[in-house]
A = this chain, B = another copy of it.
């Protein structure tokens, strides 16, 4: 017997078994699984009534909210496709995406109503705009979210006519170069991603998860609504991350699980006054987006008495494909230092995921913790391709594996360690230098708060590492102090050729340092960005 793998089944089962349990806490709203299921079915029918049928695209422009969590499931029974939009994009980029999608319906939070009004004339495919508020401007012909729900029956949907290989979501990659590309994730991708993550993260109905620290439209948060519903766990939506609101949500809801990028974990760990909050329920914080410094992981873990688990993934993989778990049969032989070092790595491939790190010749690099290569991946959670981009899809999947563009080493135990983006590797005098390695060395200095290392052009060596450093206080370690500090820790040729002290680093909305911004002035006017 073959039943289509679709996350829809998670909601049906959980609503049936946990009807009165809280599924979502969002602002003043507490939504039970019964109410969640009911609202999702009403929304699903409303989509059909608006003409959004199998294969049609709908987009969501808004902040973290239960409405997005409802949409994730409401599109499923009818085979509709959902695209949550990154609210930090430029309006022109938003218009590009909506046109690339040929979106039929746009769901909009009140705070983006004006923005949406300016987008509508530029997107001819749009037939309907649904505003969160119940007071919609009637002259626009827009609909109100709660009104369209109230008009529909909440009865069971019955048998679905959905193929598991149908696209359920399209996410756009952040697009540092060129136009953003839509990544198609299928019902099957999302179903299997949920099971794999439940296993890797030990999720259950006892899990209470803070969601929205990483925006729900962002790669690190995808997959969450599916596995949270599968597990029957409670999702506590926060509007955005700040240490105080995170800690107070943990205390109030007895949360067990949260998800962050390293910069947030840093803020949380440095936050004075954390001890005012009862965080004893906290069992695990998952870190994505970038490999965290080992020292931060240890500090956070000790401070909050919880496990900090590092995961790695991409838009194209649902996202999580590796988690830095420890091997039980190695624990006895590991000291504290070794444990934290391993736990701050990129990790081991999850079940259902095959990862290889390959050199330019296409062969796997040695598992020596030094040889670098590109991470390629094959598995149940990998996208079927880019929306309307057959050439880019074929290019990304050459050789039967998805090419991540991330450069990593593999140690003798099979642990991946991302050392750079492919284009970010510094090649100096024929030697590969990982900028992360240099950054780790800088981070180990007590005066360094944040840093980023890039390659700059050099007449003699081709490239040299150069560091941008944010100090904890003015007048701390000097440039010379820090270079000496690094040279004492890693190969001398890896030490920065220069250091610039800055007040902050340019970051994307989700905390990643924009190295392309840092590189600009050094590489301007050159044909290549590496030497």
Contacts and interface: CB of A to CB of B under 8 A. Distances in A.
Contact of A206 (B18, B328, B378): B328
Contacts of A12: 354
Contacts of A384: 1-2
Contacts of A348: 17
Taking each of A2, A348, A354, A413, which has the highest tally of chain B beta carbons within 10 Å of its own beta carbon? A2
Interface stretch (A123-131, A191-199, A430-438, A469-477): A191-199
Interface stretch (A3-11, A80-88, A97-105, A459-467): A3-11
Interface string A178-191: 00000000001000
Contacts of A3: 354, 378-380, 382
A121 interface: no
A77 to B, nearest CB: 15
B204 A13 contact: no
Given A18-B329, A414-B16, A9 B354 contact: yes
Contacts of A192: 195
A161 interface: no
Contacts of A413: 17
B354 A1 contact: no
A195 B205 contact: no
A397 B1 contact: yes
A266 interface: no
Interface in A307-332: 327-329
Contact of A18 (B2, B327, B379): B327
Interface in A187-244: 188, 192, 195-196, 198-199, 202, 204-206, 230
Contacts of A17: 327, 348-349, 413-414
A205 B327 CA distance: 7
Contacts of A16: 414
A383 interface: yes
Contacts of A402: 1
A21 interface: yes
Nearest to A20: B329
A230 B352 CA distance: 9
A165 B21 contact: no
Interface residues of A, number: 43
A12 B10 CA distance: 29
Interface in A344-384: 348-349, 351-354, 378-380, 382-384
Given A204-B328, A327-B205, A188 B9 contact: no
Given A165-B2, A379-B1, A13 B349 contact: yes
Interface string A116-153: 00000000000000000000000000000000000000
Nearest to A331: B206
Contact of A196 (B1, B195, B382): B195
Interface string A393-419: 000010000100000000001100000
B205 A354 contact: no
A3 B321 CA distance: 15
Nearest to A16: B414
Taking each of A328, A349, A414, which has the highest tally of chain B beta carbons within 10 Å of its own beta carbon? A328
Contacts of A414: 16-17
Taking each of A195, A348, A414, which has the highest tally of chain B beta carbons within 10 Å of its own beta carbon? A195
Given A1-B378, A13-B354, A202 B202 contact: yes
Interface in A8-34: 9-10, 12-13, 16-18, 21
A357 to B, nearest CB: 12
Contacts of A353: 13
A481 B367 CA distance: 72
Contacts of A10: 351
Contacts of A328: 204-206
Nearest to A200: B204
Task: Please name the 10 residue pairs, one residue from A and one from B, whose CB atoms are nearest each other, closest first.
Answer: A206-B328, A1-B382, A195-B195, A17-B414, A205-B328, A198-B199, A21-B329, A230-B351, A17-B348, A3-B379
Interface of A: 1-3, 5, 9-10, 12-13, 16-18, 21, 165, 188, 192, 195-196, 198-199, 202, 204-206, 230, 327-329, 348-349, 351-354, 378-380, 382-384, 397, 402, 413-414
23 contacts: A1-B378, A1-B384, A1-B402, A2-B165, A3-B354, A3-B378, A9-B352, A9-B354, A10-B351, A12-B354, A13-B349, A13-B353, A17-B413, A21-B329, A192-B195, A195-B351, A198-B199, A198-B351, A204-B328, A205-B327, A205-B329, A206-B328, A230-B351
